[in-house]
Structure 1
């Protein structure tokens, strides 16, 4: 298994994985984006935050990324995490591994709190977040209509770095030394 940073050239493979979820309430996006649009998302997110892919025998089997939670300046120390796995590779610990790598990188970027938004019920995702020490911060009820039903979304949150007065500004992933990032990918172990 190889975990590396995504590139725009991965867009078709990642879009194929995402397509497995487009007809489910796991994502609230209702139509599959174009390859060009998806490639632009990868490019845009990768400029500021980690965007990872996982390969097995040269085939991309999953991806995960972080992005800013909200646009206002005071939210800069928060990040939302997302993970999508080829359905043949779920329940094998891969989502956990990708989340852990994201959190280690986000600590270097000075992120303090990470969030996961989960359409419920989604037992696998709920268990993933709880097993990693996330707490349910609350639930938005009937917040999205998809697949013929209204769906609730729970917000899971986790502190990954201490809260101190006068925090230094968020660092772009581009500002983190490449050797530190590569070290995290190589070790691929998370210690809470």
Structure 2
């Protein structure tokens, strides 16, 4: 297994991040976006991340190639939610099962340990046993399922919510 390197995302990574995200938008129901984005359209999303603070974004490279990203975002906009984050992770299909996701989440949660945070949440569109088991390995536990909350590709999908205690 070749080494995976993880670093903070930079603006120059946005093209690769967008291309990977668009793959999942166009071919899966793991995200409920229904149309591809340009990197320019994703700039407001990218702007929420910072080097310090609870909203961070990391990318992984494997064998010198972009392999995925993981980040933490505001769970909700209201101030009382500020100690909670929602996490996101996308790994390129070619890099799946090769330690990329693990390296990304290890780096993300290491950074989040330095922040004033209490909980992390992850939403997983069902069915997706791989993502559920992955999150459970990082200490997430199921807290509930929103039934038929999103419609994509002509069918309704459930979303399981998982929670991880951070402090």
Question: Within 5 A, what are the aligned runs for 1:37-48?
Answer: 37-46=41-50, 48=53
TM-score (norm 2): 0.91
Q: Which moved more, 1:15-24 or 1:62-71?
A: 15-24
Kindly indicate whether residue 17 of structure 2 is the aligned counterpart of residue 11 of structure 1: no
Q: Which residue matches 2:88?
A: 82
CA–CA distance in 2 between the matches of 1:42 and 1:121? 28
Q: Which residue matches 2:77?
A: 71
- SS of 2:102's partner is helix
Q: Which residue matches 1:156?
A: 162
- The CA RMSD measured in Å over matched residues stands at 1.4
Q: Which residue matches 1:21?
A: 24
- Structure 1, residues 88-144: CA drift from partner, whole Å, max 9, x if none? 111223212212221221121111110110001101101101122211010000000
Q: Which residue matches 2:132?
A: 126
Q: Which residue matches 1:180?
A: none
Aligned with residue 143 of structure 1, among 127, 139, 149: 149
How far apart are residue 80 of structure 1 and its match? 0.6
How far apart are residue 39 of structure 1 and its match? 3.0
TM-score (norm 1): 0.79
Contact 1:45–1:51 (8 Å) recurs in 2: yes
Contact 1:79–1:114 (8 Å) recurs in 2: yes
CA–CA distance in 1 between the matches of 2:152 and 2:100? 27
Contact 2:58–2:71 (8 Å) recurs in 1: yes
CA–CA distance in 2 between the matches of 1:18 and 1:140? 23
Q: What residue ranges of structure 2 are gaps of 5+ in the alignment?
A: none
Q: Which residue matches 1:189?
A: none
Contact 1:144–1:151 (8 Å) recurs in 2: yes
- SS of 1:108's partner is coil
Question: Runs (4+) of structure 1 moved beyond 2 Å?
Answer: 43-48
- SS of 2:157's partner is strand
How far apart are residue 46 of structure 1 and its match? 3.0
Contact 1:91–1:124 (8 Å) recurs in 2: no
